[in-house]
């Protein structure tokens, strides 16, 4: 392949990969995480709800659960269809190969069935990504999509880079190409899960999307920063941190830990996680930090006070609309 995706394996990435592998090893020997169908289904539901919420689907976890159980749900027909499609697609993960274009198109066909006219086919026109300030990314012309995707899939099939890194690179490059008329975000997250699950099957049930949903602003900022820098390094670091934190949370839950039993050592770890989270999204609220890290809001408040007292953190602006400045 001539078009090697540009990225750098930094010391931070090497450390993140090592820590994720260690956490995954510990999680995989947990009887609950390895053998509980109930836990796997609950995590799959969390994954679907969060991935769709990033795309502005308003259904709650409870509503998503009801949809999948065949119960009546008051909601927009499109949003209900999105849930059904996503569940069908995630259930088909074991059948697909990450490097297969046919599987990629089939997955998009399932994910977007009844939602777009071009389900299961690359887009035939130009597309841009917009936010409230205007255009933030202009995707390559439609005429180049097939070639760019063929190159990306060929790289994925042949490059020896670690799957944790390869999955992040693919995710970013996929979003940069934006090969479909709609559904690119949820497809990118689905395909990263597929890549990871072929390496470690348990990762098919790790709800990383839930954490990305909490860090949504950071997710889009990492994509934008990678665009500006011309490579995916910053995005790799962002997603690996999300994987690391999600695994830490899963391990804590399967080990029977509770947020109400925190020692001084745990408090120190909580402070570190707060700083890491705020590096990705300085505007996170106390409830969002508590949900992401898995501790009480009181614990977050206590650690924020400690960080400010140590001169490592400073609040800029009001509680609503302000942000945290990291001083270390």
User: Which DSSP string do the residues of 221-283 spell out, in sequence order?
Assistant: HHHHHHHHHTSSHHHHHHHHHHHHHHHHHHHHHHTT--TT---HHHHHHHHHHHHHHHHH-TT
How does pLDDT run across 48-74, given as a tens digit for each residue? 999 999 888 999 999 999 999 999 999
Write out the H or E segment, with its range, that includes residue 100.
none
**Single pTM value for the model:** 0.76
Q: What is the DSSP letter of 128?
A: E
Question: What pLDDT is stored for residue 69 in this prediction?
Answer: 93
Neighbouring residues of 308: CB distance < 8 A, sequence distance ≥ 6: 314, 315
pLDDT at 208 over 80: yes
Q: What is the DSSP letter of 206?
A: -
Strand pairing category for 134-138 and 313-316: unpaired
Q: Which domains does the chain have, with CATH numbers?
A: 11-257 (1.10.3290.10), 265-328 (1.10.10.10)
How does pLDDT run across 176-187, given as a tens digit for each residue? 999 999 999 999
Is 132 marked within a binding site? yes
Question: What pLDDT is stored for residue 256 in this prediction?
Answer: 56
Is 136 marked within a binding site? yes
% of the chain with per-residue pLDDT over 70:
88
Is 172 marked within a binding site? no
Is 133 marked within a binding site? yes
Is 135 marked within a binding site? yes
Active site residues: 178
The mean pLDDT of 17-31, rounded to a whole number, is 84
């Amino acid at each position: 392949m001539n078009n090697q995706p540009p990225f750098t394996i930094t010391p931070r990435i090497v450390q993140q990969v090592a820590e994720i592998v260690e956490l995954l090893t510990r999680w995989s020997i947990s009887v609950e995480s390895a053998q509980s169908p109930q836990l796997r289904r609950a995590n799959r539901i969390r994954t679907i709800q969060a991935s769709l919420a990033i795309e502005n689907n308003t259904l709650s976890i409870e509503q998503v659960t009801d949809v999948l159980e065949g119960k009546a749900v008051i909601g927009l027909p499109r949003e209900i269809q999105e849930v059904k499609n996503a569940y069908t697609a995630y259930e088909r993960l074991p059948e697909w190969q990450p490097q297969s274009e046919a599987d990629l198109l089939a997955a998009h066909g399932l994910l977007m069935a009844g939602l777009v006219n071009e389900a299961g086919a690359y887009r035939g026109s130009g597309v841009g990504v917009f936010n409230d300030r205007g255009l933030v990314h202009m995707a390559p012309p439609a005429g180049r999509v097939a070639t760019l995707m063929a190159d990306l899939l060929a790289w994925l099939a042949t490059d020896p880079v670690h799957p944790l890194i390869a999955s992040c690179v693919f995710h970013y490059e996929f979003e940069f190409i934006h090969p479909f008329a709609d559904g690119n975000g949820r497809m990118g997250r689905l395909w990263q899960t597929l890549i990871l699950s072929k390496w470690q099957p348990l990762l098919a049930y790790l709800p990383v999307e839930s954490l990305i949903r909490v860090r949504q602003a950071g997710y889009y900022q990492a994509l934008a920063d990678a665009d500006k820098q011309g490579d995916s390094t910053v995005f790799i670091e962002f997603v690996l941190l999300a994987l690391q934190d999600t695994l830490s949370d899963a391990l804590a839950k399967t080990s029977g830990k509770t947020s109400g039993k925190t020692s001084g050592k745990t408090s120190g770890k909580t402070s570190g996680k707060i700083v890491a989270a705020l590096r990705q999204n300085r505007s996170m609220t106390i409830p969002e930090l508590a949900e992401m890290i898995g501790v009480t809001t009181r614990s977050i408040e206590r650690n924020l006070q400690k960080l400010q007292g140590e001169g490592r953190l400073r609040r800029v602006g009001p509680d609503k609309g302000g942000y945290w400045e990291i001083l270390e």
